[in-house]
Amino acid sequence: MRKRMLIDEYLPIYDVRERHRIAVHAPVERVYAAVRALDISEARLTRTLFRLRGLPCPPRFKLDDFLKLRFILLGERPDEELLLGLVGKFWTPAGELRLLTREEFKNFNERGYAKAAWNFSLTRTSDDVASLETETRVFCTDSASRMRFRLYWTVVGAFSGIVRREMLRIIKRNAESGER
């Protein structure tokens, strides 16, 4: 039985879910440190997609930079899970992102928006191997936003998967090489 995760607490009901997993040959503690130190500036395709969306992509782009873009650090269980959240109208050019607290995210239900939760979770499979997974969930607050998001996701969904897999590969490389 799967343990209850932070993503289950913050977004138990969702309209869209995407998961990706990779085995990392490193202790779970080192993998988690690589998650926390993730620098997406190493991800060429991700940087290109950010630029196409009009998002800033400085020479170094780490977790704190996501928080500057109105992502919320919803929770963290070191060596187990890190959870980010975001509320907006993702299908619009600017995204109309909302700046919220953790509690406001949890209770947010204003019509016309979508709530997204994105985590990295780790499971120790042996002393020197960890399973690293990322899961993205999106909940739309009404049927009109659900329809708009699904049209948007038809175009963007494949790219989202590419971004997530690219991030997993960077974390794997850094954890296995001992980089932080």
What pLDDT digit, counting tens, does each position of 12-51 carry?
999 999 999 999 999 999 999 999 988 877 766 666 666 6
- Residue 127 inside a domain? The answer is yes
User: Is 1 a member of any domain?
Assistant: no
* Cα–Cα distance list, 177 to 30, 58, 82, 112, 172 (Å): 10, 24, 22, 44, 8
Residue-range definition of the domain harbouring residue 72: 6-177
The model's pTM is 0.88
d(C-alpha 18, C-alpha 36), whole Å: 21
Is 120 a domain residue? yes
- What is the predicted pLDDT for the residue at 59? 60
Contact 152, 90 (CB under 8 A): yes
Banded pLDDT at 62 (limits 50, 70, 90): confident
111 belongs to a structural domain: yes
Q: What CATH number did the domain enclosing 61 receive?
A: 3.30.530.20
How many domains does the chain divide into?
1
| Residues 79-124 pLDDT 10s | 999 999 999 999 998 889 999 999 999 999 999 999 999 999 999 9
If pLDDT is split at 50, 70 and 90, which confidence band does 55 have?
Answer: low
Q: By CB neighbour count within 10 A (0-12 exposed, 13-18 middle, 19+ buried), where does 103 fall? A: exposed
